[in-house]
Amino acid sequence: MWPTEGRIVFDRVYLRYAPDEEPVLRNLNIQVENGWKVGIVGRTGAGKSSLISAMFRFAYLDGTISIDGLDTSLVSKQGLRSKISIIPQEPVLFSATIRYNLDPFNIYSDDDLWRALEQVDMKSAVPSLDFKVTEGGANFSVGQRQLMCLARAVLRSNKILIMDEATANVDPQTDNFIQQTIRRQFASCTVLTIAHRLNTIMDSDRVLVMNTGQVAEYDHPYILLSDPNSQFSSMVRETGEKNSAKLFQVAKDAYFQSNLKENAR
């Protein structure tokens, strides 16, 4: 079943939201190896969300985006979108049962649904699978709604997960729990994270710095931070002296740990 690995290649990708408009993404050339965790950063309007739109084919594309060697333009939009899990900034829950929210097409068994809820620590918050979610998910906190979206992703076990500033509206404790769950449940998946808090991506395999719709920098966070003139270094410095030293250390530890694993192979 495609995709089996989750390797993503952007080859000279341009994106427009209307055929006669200027491109908002320009000449993107990026390789994301299977299983990589990639943090995406940039100022407002840098093109971070447009990159996600390109993945889902929500706009006009030139160039090629391939997943596991297959040009995604050859796959139906519905087929493509069903293969990429996304946890959005604003978690969407339907005014329906928990069962419907997790599994609208009735594909999975009740055991599967309970297991997914358990894996995101939501089992105790759900009285039954027939429990009704009120409008907009108002009977759950923002953090719980986000965890419910995470349970959906766990259930579908896709090879590619996109986090679209998913923890921007939750408290640091819930954010930390979501990050830990993703590292555990999606260890073998390719994860693209549009980062709201830099600390969530410092142990990534790569950081992609976007600027005016183009790739400004793309490398391991430690490599980027080793250059004091890099845009990423500048972003980290803006978090304050104490915090930036902490972030640098996390990136450094992750870099040497990943090198040890590579050499062990």
Integer Cα distance of 84 and 76 in angstroms: 13
Integer Cα distance of 236 and 241 in angstroms: 9
Identify the pLDDT of residue 208.
Answer: 98
Tally of CB atoms within 10 A around 135: 9
CATH number, domain of 98, equals 3.40.50.300
Look up the domain containing 72 and give its range.
8-219
pLDDT in tens, 69-105: 999 999 999 999 999 999 888 888 999 999 999 999 9
Number of domains composing the chain: 1
Residue 144 lies in a domain: yes
Strand partners, 85: 161
Identify the pLDDT of residue 136.
Answer: 82
CA-wise closest residue to 243 among 194, 198, 176 = 198
Integer Cα distance of 22 and 53 in angstroms: 16
Identify the pLDDT of residue 167.
Answer: 67
Residue 170 lies in a domain: yes
Residue 239 lies in a domain: no
Tally the residues of the chain.
265
Identify the pLDDT of residue 197.
Answer: 84
Residue 244 lies in a domain: no
Identify the pLDDT of residue 245.
Answer: 97
79 φ, ψ (degrees, to nearest 5): -65, -45
Residue 265 lies in a domain: no
Cis peptide before 23 (omega within 30 of 0): no
Integer Cα distance of 177 and 198 in angstroms: 16
Residue 194 lies in a domain: yes
pLDDT tens, position by position, for the chain (265 residues)? Answer: 899 999 999 999 999 999 999 999 999 999 999 999 999 999 989 999 999 999 999 999 999 999 999 999 999 999 999 999 998 888 889 999 999 999 999 999 999 999 999 999 999 999 999 999 998 888 998 889 989 999 999 999 899 999 987 667 778 888 888 888 888 989 999 999 998 889 889 999 999 999 999 999 999 999 999 999 999 999 999 999 999 999 999 999 999 988 777 777 6
Residue 249 lies in a domain: no
Identify the pLDDT of residue 204.
Answer: 95
Helix 142-156 to helix 110-119 angle (10° resolution) is: 130
